[in-house]
Structures are given as C-alpha cells and as structure tokens.
C-alpha cells in the first residue's frame, strides 16, 4: 500500500482492509450472540460511520433495525466547539435496545452531548460500538462498550473518515504522516 494525499496533507497506510474486515466480523459475531431475540436498533452516526455501519450490519444475522442520525463537531483536523444535530432521530427508541455505531471516538464530545438526548427517549439500553477508539484523547465521560481498534492520538482518514470532507473513499485507513 502506498501513501495518499488528501488536500494539503500526506497520509500513510495504517489499518488494512483485511484487518478492518476481520475486526468487524468479530464484533458482528459478538453482537449476534449478545442481542439475539432483542431486535436491537443500530443507530449510526453520520457521516463518518456509513461504511462501518454497512459492513457491520451486513454481518448481523439476528433480527435488527438500523437508523441514521447526523451529528458533527469536527472542522479540519481538530474537534470544533459545537456539536450540531443536522438530522435528528426519527425512530421510536422507547423501550428498545440501542447500539450506537460510530466511526471514531476522539474527545467523546459528540456522544457526550448526544447521549442525554437519547436517554430522554427512554430506551431499554444504550451501548456504544466504535471502529476506532482514540483512548488517549478522551476528555468527556463516555464509556465505549465495543471497539474494533484502540488507536493513538493521531489523525486518520479513509474508510468513511474524512479530512475536510475528503478522503472517505478508501478501503483501508491511513494515518497523518509526521
């Protein structure tokens, strides 16, 4: 695999397509077991998690629903001040088991702001599944229940993750070159 350029920055290969798919399969198997008979709702946070959600959901073999909301707090390569809800929740989550599907947890700000909103709709349970967990960057009290990868505090793109809107359309994940 070779480096890629997104706008003004160069990124080097970090997680291969094979490794990503392997971890997603493991997570799907775990969720298939844990949520059998519960008909969970996979609540995907757009935009970054659309590919992760698709690949994960394809491997969910139990009865399950999927829905999408749009939250954003990022500008360029750092988290911005505000969390905006651009597309809200249309599903009735009351009494339901919710699995939040996120591409990456960085500071935790996005989910920290969204969780009370979700809790106010009285779901039976809420768990958080992420592809990437930037454990060192966490600055808000958010508990990640399932993480495919723990990664260091470095900016990454690819497989749905963007740098200023670009770089999402790769099968592997790339890390900002030092």
Distance CA 144, CA 141 (A): 10
What is the contact mask toward ligand IMP in residues 96 to 135, using x (rule: CB under 6 A)? ------xxxxxxxxx-------------------------
> Which residues, in sequence order, are bridge partners of residue 10?
5
Is 55 catalytic? The answer is: no
Q: How many helices (H) and strands (E) does the chain have?
A: 3, 10
**Residue 108 Cβ, how far from ligand IMP at the closest point, in Å?**
5
* 25, 155, 171, 172: which one binds ligand IMP (CB under 6 A): 155
**Residue 3 Cβ, how far from ligand IMP at the closest point, in Å?**
16
21 versus 78: smaller Cβ distance to ligand IMP:
78
18 versus 145: smaller Cβ distance to Mg ion:
145
Q: Which residue is nearest to Mg ion (CB)?
A: 48
**Token pair 């454990």 is at which residue?**
135
Interaction residues for ligand IMP, span 42-61 (CB under 6 A): 48
Whether the CB-CB separation of 84 and 114 falls below 8 Å is answered with no
**Token pair 């969970």 is at which residue?**
40
55 versus 106: smaller Cβ distance to ligand IMP:
106
40 versus 160: smaller Cβ distance to Mg ion:
160
**Residue 37 Cβ, how far from ligand IMP at the closest point, in Å?**
30
Does 160 participate in binding ligand IMP (rule CB under 6 A)? no
Element (H, E) at 6: strand 4-6
Does 73 participate in binding ligand IMP (rule CB under 6 A)? yes
Per-residue 3-state assignment (H helix, E strand, C coil) for 43-97: EEEECCCHHHHHHHHCCCCCCCEEEEEEEEEEECCEEEEEEEEEECCCCCCCCCE
Distance CA 142, CA 7 (A): 32
What is the set of active-site residues?
106
């Amino acid at each position: 695999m070779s480096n890629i350029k997104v706008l003004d920055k160069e990124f080097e290969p970090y997680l291969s397509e094979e490794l990503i798919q392997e971890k997603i399969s493991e997570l799907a198997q775990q969720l298939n077991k844990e949520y059998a008979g519960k008909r969970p709702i996979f609540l995907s946070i757009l935009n970054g998690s659309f590919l992760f959600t698709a690949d994960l959901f394809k491997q969910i073999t139990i009865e399950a629903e999927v829905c999408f909301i749009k939250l954003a707090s990022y500008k360029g390569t750092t988290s911005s001040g505000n969390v905006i809800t651009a597309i809200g929740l249309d599903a009735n989550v009351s009494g339901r088991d919710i699995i939040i599907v996120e591409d990456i947890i960085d500071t935790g700000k996005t989910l920290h702001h969204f969780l009370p909103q979700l809790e106010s709709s009285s779901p039976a349970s809420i768990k958080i599944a992420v592809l990437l967990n930037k454990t060192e960057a966490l600055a808000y009290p958010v508990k990640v229940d399932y993480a495919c990868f723990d990664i260091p505090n470095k900016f990454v793109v690819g497989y749905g993750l963007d740098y200023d809107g670009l770089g999402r359309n790769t099968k592997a994940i790339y890390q900002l070159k030092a």
